[in-house]
Structure 1
């Protein structure tokens, strides 16, 4: 019971965050400096947003960079305020200067909002204490935050990676169960495929997250991570075999009608899913796995395959399920692979600055958007005669997310949570609770709020709002007077953030669909070149297979976000949804072909070259259809001829996969032509060529 409690991700996270916040308060209370302890607890908010609690091989270097930026932001705000520079110009200039961090890497990009929040906190403190005090507060606060997290991760070593791997195995179990519970429904992709795409999306996201964690930890060089590295490689093999598909609904239906294959296949899938969930718990709670075997289930599949030799579905399921069973029984991956280095771009400062100064830079656009929103918030504060509109500014920063949909959800949750929290705080302040009891209540509320924060942001905001009002009461004994003001400030900040995401250089995902689709086809083409080459190597094959899955995942994510965006043509998005559906089928065929190529189920060099040429022609036709904006015309000089007709007799399994890929590409080319007639006719959609 204790092991389950202490290793649970939400409990572990909540304990860490609560101790970081409350220990300085407790020390301040014991030393008679409660106000300084409460102010000290502001710094972890900046550090959390900056991602300084992310385990990293350069942990202390990132900590020093974060502390320096917080201190410089604090000093800059106080210096410019002393020179009577207008607040809108201060925040616009700071946002544009700090925005270059986003060009260095995605992790460095989190330093921009964190530094701006440090400046906003300083704005609320300026004039109430000496200039040097907020600077020291950030330096020592970040040092405390870093040392505590370093000690915590040393105490719970490997736990962040274990949490990600546990989630990955649980998602693989859900994916496997959902896929084979829908076995007889695959005749209608419109209803069967969306839930499977959602599961596949979650699995690939978690695999990408594990790749990043392994890279950031340099886990390949540490002996303590060897077992987790092996567990991750097992997950890659499992995802490869679970996500494959023959996509032969007619053959599946025939086999189900002639035998009890559906029950046997579902029995295998449920056995595998149950085992994966047990393994997820074993990884998370540091338990050694128990023995496992599913010989009876595999034997039943083999019997069906022998009884129906003319139906490929039985052989297909027996092949992939037997290999999954071998992984689960031996607790080892199917083959030894070297995990290729993470190829995430990380630019040094000066090349990043050069890239940032381009008008095409997404980082520059994002920094300018934040700067303008903060400037507008400052002007609104001046209009309401607020010399320090820090609550409006903080609300803008906290609710602004990467996309329109995420920002909209965060705004609704923040506004509702703040309203409920202010009502609760206003009622309880009338009870005049003694200071000691108030601190105990704040401790309990903080722990509960962090327990539910990652899954229920709105409910957590109720607790955080109550503790914020209580903190104001303890700092200035007038927290009750700020309740209505804080509510109005929150609503103003939410409105400004929403307007900024809609009207200030929005990066609509529907406008990026074409580029993401082009990138997915490029990844498919490179994978097919490796698979149909003379000597496919396992390591490049495995890496390219994951790139194919990730590229399709990016396309699917942008489609999902585009479906939630306002004011766009639903017919265009419906056509692109169908295009993405066929792209998913190609990904599944590439997954299956990668397995076969690694096990040397090869075609003759002449036949492989012939098929590769046909695939490349079909892929280039699809890419060019996306690239040229004429909706229905065909340019002989630019569009390549279609692939030559290939024989349909005595095809091997590898050839069947290639034929189905060609069929999907032909359909996608037709869909692209139809989709262009439905596209919006303004802005980014009028570009004739992709960048």
Structure 2
């Protein structure tokens, strides 16, 4: 029971965040300096947004950088305000200067909004205390935050990684179960595939997250780390074999009609899913796994494969499920990988600065967008006679997300949660609760809000709004006067953020679909080259397989976001949805061919070269059709007068033939989709010219 309580992700996270916020308040209360304790507890908000609680090899170096930026922004704001420099100019300059952090790495990019929030907090402090005091609060607050989190992660070793791995195993279980519950529905992929695409996307996203966490951990030689590394490699094997597809719906239907294969395959899938969920709990709650065997299930599958040797589906399922069962039984990966060989390097400052100064830089556009939104908010504050419109400014930074859909959802939750929280706080303030009970209630509300924030941001905002109003009440004794103005400020901030997302250099995902589709085809091409090479090596194959999955995920995410965006041609998106469906089939075939290549199930050099040439021609035709609106080649790779192979096809050839079939269909779809594209902006450009083009 205590393991489930302490190691549960939401509870562990909520305890950590609540303690790091509330301990300074408790110390301030005991020392008779409650106002300083409350101000000190504001710093963790900046540190959270900056990701300074992320376990990292350079944990303390990042803390120093974060504290320096927070204190530096605070000092700049105070000095420039003292010189009567307009607030819009100050915030715009800070946003444009700090925007270069997004070119360094994704983790460094989080320093931009965090530093701006530190500057905005300073607006409420400037003039009420000496210049050096906010700087000291930021420096000591960040130091406290870092030391507390370092101790917490030392106490619960690898817990963030364990949480990610546990979620990955659960997602693989759900994916396996869902895939084989739709066994006879794959004849209509437009209905059967989208739910599987979502689950596959989540699994690959979690693999990417685990891989990044592996690189950020410093204890490479500890026993716990090596154990987690082995568990992660097992997950890679499981994902590889669960996500494969022979994609022969007619053969599946024949096998189901002639035998009880459907029940046996589902039996295997349910057994695998149940075991994966048990392992997910074992990883999360620090338990050793129990013994496991799938002998009966695999035996039944083998019997069906032997009874129907002419049908490839039985043998295909038997081979992949037996590999999955082997991983689950031995608790060892199928083969060794050097996961640390492909380390992600951050871009050095000078090259990052050069890239940032390009007009095509997404980081520059993002910084400029934030800069304009903050300037408009500052001017709006002046129009409303608010000398320090810090609540409007903070609302903008809290609700602005990377995409239109995410920003819209965050705005709805933020505005509704703030309204409800202000109503609750306004009612509660009329009861004049004693200070001790007020602080105890704030502690309980903070803990409850952090317990639900990951899944229910709107409800968590209700709690945070109540604590914010009571913080103002304890600091200024006039919290009731802030209720109506704060709600108006929230609505203004949400409207400015929404307008900025829609009208200020938006990254419309429908405009990025072409480039992401092109990149997915490029990753497919590299994978097929490796698979059909003379001596395919396990580690490069594993990396390229994951790149194929990740490139397709990027494409799928773009499509999902584009379907939510306003003002674009729905016919074009419908065609691209079908294109992405066929792209997913190619990904599944590449997953399967990777396992075959690793097992040295190879073709003759001449036949491999012919298949490689055919695949490359088909891929290039698809890329050319995506790139420009010109006459496509009339010849079809699949209509060659001479067949690529004579006699019965091997399993690897069956996959390659189906890849060629999907590529031919994708070429036809992209020819239709191009004519239905939007006819404005970057879409008038016929060729893809770089990262910023649509």
Report the TM range for the smaller structure's normalisation: over 0.9
Which residue is 2:388 aligned to?
A: 388
Which residue is 1:678 aligned to?
A: 676
Q: CA deviation at 1:257?
A: 0.6
**Which runs of no fewer than 5 residues in structure 2 stay unpaired?**
690-694
Which residue is 1:276 aligned to?
A: 276
- The alignment partner of 2:289 has SS state of coil
Which residue is 1:70 aligned to?
A: 70
Query: Is 1:182 the counterpart of 2:182 in the alignment?
Result: yes
Query: Is 1:433 the counterpart of 2:433 in the alignment?
Result: yes
C-alpha distance in 1 between matches for 2:52 and 2:342: 20
- The alignment partner of 2:339 has SS state of coil
Query: 1:166-565 to 2 correspondence within 5 Å?
Result: 166-218=166-218, 220-565=220-565
- The alignment partner of 2:326 has SS state of helix
- Structure 1 runs (4+) greater than 2 angstroms displaced: 218-224, 340-345, 633-636, 639-649
1:295–1:668 Cα change, 3 Å: same
CA RMSD of aligned residues (A): 1.2
Contact 1:449 1:460 (8 Å CA) reproduced: yes
Q: What do residues 219-274 of structure 1 show as CA deviations (whole Å, max 9, x unaligned)?
A: 54444311110000000000000000000000000011111110000000000000
1:522–1:339 Cα change, 3 Å: same
Contact 1:165 1:232 (8 Å CA) reproduced: yes
- The alignment partner of 2:388 has SS state of coil
Contact 1:615 1:643 (8 Å CA) reproduced: no
Contact 1:211 1:342 (8 Å CA) reproduced: no
Which residue is 2:692 aligned to?
A: none
1:658 pairs with 653, 656, 659, which one? 656
C-alpha distance in 2 between matches for 1:218 and 1:557: 31
Q: What do residues 350-379 of structure 1 show as CA deviations (whole Å, max 9, x unaligned)?
A: 111111111111101000000100000000
Q: CA deviation at 1:552?
A: 0.4
What TM-score do you get using the length of structure 2 for normalisation? 0.98
Q: CA deviation at 1:155?
A: 0.4
Q: CA deviation at 1:648?
A: 6.3
Which residue is 2:572 aligned to?
A: 572
C-alpha distance in 2 between matches for 1:3 and 1:300: 38
- The alignment partner of 1:460 has SS state of helix
Which residue is 1:49 aligned to?
A: 49
Q: What do residues 26-47 of structure 1 show as CA deviations (whole Å, max 9, x unaligned)?
A: 0000000000000000000000
C-alpha distance in 2 between matches for 1:321 and 1:220: 32
Q: CA deviation at 1:341?
A: 3.6
- The alignment partner of 1:510 has SS state of helix
Which residue is 2:665 aligned to?
A: 667
C-alpha distance in 1 between matches for 2:499 and 2:267: 52
1:45–1:144 Cα change, 3 Å: same
- The alignment partner of 1:121 has SS state of helix
Which residue is 1:137 aligned to?
A: 137
C-alpha distance in 2 between matches for 1:601 and 1:382: 72
C-alpha distance in 2 between matches for 1:585 and 1:114: 41
1:346–1:570 Cα change, 3 Å: same
C-alpha distance in 2 between matches for 1:125 and 1:244: 58
Contact 2:614 2:637 (8 Å CA) reproduced: no
Q: CA deviation at 1:100?
A: 0.6
Q: CA deviation at 1:646?
A: 2.5
Contact 1:396 1:494 (8 Å CA) reproduced: yes
Query: 1:112-151 to 2 correspondence within 5 Å?
Result: 112-151=112-151
Q: CA deviation at 1:179?
A: 0.2
Q: CA deviation at 1:498?
A: 0.1
**Which runs of no fewer than 5 residues in structure 1 stay unpaired?**
none
- The alignment partner of 2:672 has SS state of helix
1:403–1:179 Cα change, 3 Å: same
Q: CA deviation at 1:107?
A: 0.4
1:343–1:556 Cα change, 3 Å: farther
C-alpha distance in 2 between matches for 1:601 and 1:471: 67
C-alpha distance in 2 between matches for 1:334 and 1:502: 48
Contact 2:636 2:664 (8 Å CA) reproduced: no
What TM-score do you get using the length of structure 1 for normalisation? 0.98
C-alpha distance in 2 between matches for 1:610 and 1:100: 47
C-alpha distance in 2 between matches for 1:485 and 1:2: 45
1:340–1:660 Cα change, 3 Å: farther
C-alpha distance in 1 between matches for 2:633 and 2:177: 46
Q: CA deviation at 1:217?
A: 1.1
C-alpha distance in 2 between matches for 1:88 and 1:33: 34
Q: CA deviation at 1:647?
A: 3.8
C-alpha distance in 2 between matches for 1:436 and 1:648: 85
Q: CA deviation at 1:642?
A: 6.8
Contact 2:215 2:343 (8 Å CA) reproduced: no
C-alpha distance in 2 between matches for 1:58 and 1:643: 57
- The alignment partner of 2:187 has SS state of coil
Which residue is 1:634 aligned to?
A: 632
Contact 1:617 1:643 (8 Å CA) reproduced: no
Contact 1:629 1:686 (8 Å CA) reproduced: no
Which residue is 2:154 aligned to?
A: 154
Q: CA deviation at 1:349?
A: 1.0
